[in-house]
Amino acid sequence: MTEILSLPVVIKSQNNTESPMEQFARDVLTGLQADQKRLSSVYFYDERGSQIFEEICDLDEYYLTRKETEILKRSAHEIIGELPLDAHLVELGSGSSTKTRILLEAALARFEETLYSPIDISAEILTATAHDLNEAYPELQVEAVAGRYEFGLEHILRTEKTSSCIMWLGSSIGNLTREEAASFLGDIRKKGLKQDSLLLGIDLRKGATILEPAYDDASGVTADFNLNLLDRINSELEGEFKREQFRHKAIYNIEEGRIEMYLISDRDQEVFIKKLDTRIAFKQNEEILTEYSYKYSHEEIKTLAEASGFYLAKQWLDESGWFSLNLLQPKANALLKD
């Protein structure tokens, strides 16, 4: 079922087979009963988790948001200049579209009128954001889609007649394994028009002395963010986790090129989760994996693009060379340029 709200348009998806709460419960049960216990990073972002993440973005150690904003402020007009005049801007995981406004202003300066379709899981955030954008930029047409990325992209791309630039900022692609990332981008390539492009924020490989503090800051904000997963299970599934009996850990796996985040049990214990009618046993120092955040070399970015049916058309870096924005275009375009 699809519900269309007042202009600017927000299309709210409803899952007819499984509610978000049912899916959360199923994923928690499956993850905590696995040999390597795991909780998906997609569940970080309840209301409290989203608030904590905003705090993380302001930390000195967490350079990602700061570096990406630096690139956007310096290069937004150049980025938009690489797109066709009628490009439809589509964004995955848009949230409040704060950084994206830099690109939208550049697009409006070039195109005068622009169609922007943010996709996010939260209909409430999208509705507020769409109306804010409509007030700030009357010449901007906003069609926001609430739901999973797959739903939003299918809705937008199946009726699209002009070329799209699908933007995925903030290095969220790093939460996928390299194989999953190539598969996901490949699906986008198959669903879209032949000329559709991608604009990806991708964090670059660096030393552990830079990466680990970004995910384990001295003031403990990231630890609070990670431990909030247990609070969410307690609140929504009537769990009995005691957060003081778990600790946060973030390490950089150099060989895999990824940050790994864990919650670690400080003792042998059992935790009852009432709505799952299940007791989960933990041994002392047993880990719950909560996030992978893959980092890429320049060569790995090119490999990712090629594996998904694109090529790296252009890349922008911050002054430190820590973070990248990457414009991926279909391989057919490369043949035309040759």
> pTM for the whole thing?
0.90
pLDDT at 50: 86
Does 17 map to a domain?
A: no
Q: Check pLDDT > 80 for residue 194.
A: no
Q: Are residues 160 and 176 in the same domain?
A: yes
Q: Are residues 137 and 157 in the same domain?
A: yes
Q: Are residues 176 and 273 in the same domain?
A: no
DSSP string, 5-30: -SSSEEEEE--SS--HHHHHHHHHHH
pLDDT (tens digit, 9 = 90+) per residue, 161-192? 788 999 999 999 999 999 999 999 999 998 87
pLDDT (tens digit, 9 = 90+) per residue, 250-301? 999 999 999 999 999 999 999 999 999 999 999 999 999 999 999 999 999 9
Other C-beta atoms lying within 10 Å of the C-beta of residue 324: 22
Does 303 map to a domain?
A: yes
Domain count along the chain: 2
Closest CA to 326 of 71, 16, 65, 137: 71
Q: Are residues 187 and 78 in the same domain?
A: yes
- Residue 75, domain CATH: 3.40.50.150
pLDDT at 9: 59
pLDDT at 3: 38
Confidence at 43, pLDDT banded by 50, 70, 90: very high
pLDDT (tens digit, 9 = 90+) per residue, 72-95? 999 999 999 999 988 999 999 887
- Structural domain range at position 169: 2-9+62-206+296-337
From residue 292, alpha-carbon distances to 36, 48, 241 in Å are: 14, 21, 23
Q: Are residues 124 and 142 in the same domain?
A: yes
Q: What percent of the chain has pLDDT over 90?
A: 70
Q: Are residues 268 and 122 in the same domain?
A: no
User: Which residue blocks in the chain are alpha helix, DSSP H?
Assistant: 20-33, 47-57, 64-81, 100-111, 123-136, 149-157, 178-191, 208-215, 221-237, 298-307, 331-337
Mean pLDDT value across residues 298-323: 97
Evaluate the omega torsion of the peptide bond into residue 213 and state whether it is cis, within 30 degrees of 0.
Answer: no
Does 19 map to a domain?
A: no
Q: Are residues 227 and 316 in the same domain?
A: no
Does 26 map to a domain?
A: no
Q: Are residues 301 and 163 in the same domain?
A: yes
Q: Are residues 157 and 290 in the same domain?
A: no
pLDDT at 66: 96
Give the chain's end-to-end CA distance (angstroms, integer): 46
Does 25 map to a domain?
A: no
Does 46 map to a domain?
A: yes
Cβ contact 295:259 at 8 Å: yes
Q: Are residues 114 and 151 in the same domain?
A: yes
Q: Check pLDDT > 50 for residue 1.
A: no
Does 28 map to a domain?
A: no
Mean pLDDT value across residues 209-220: 98
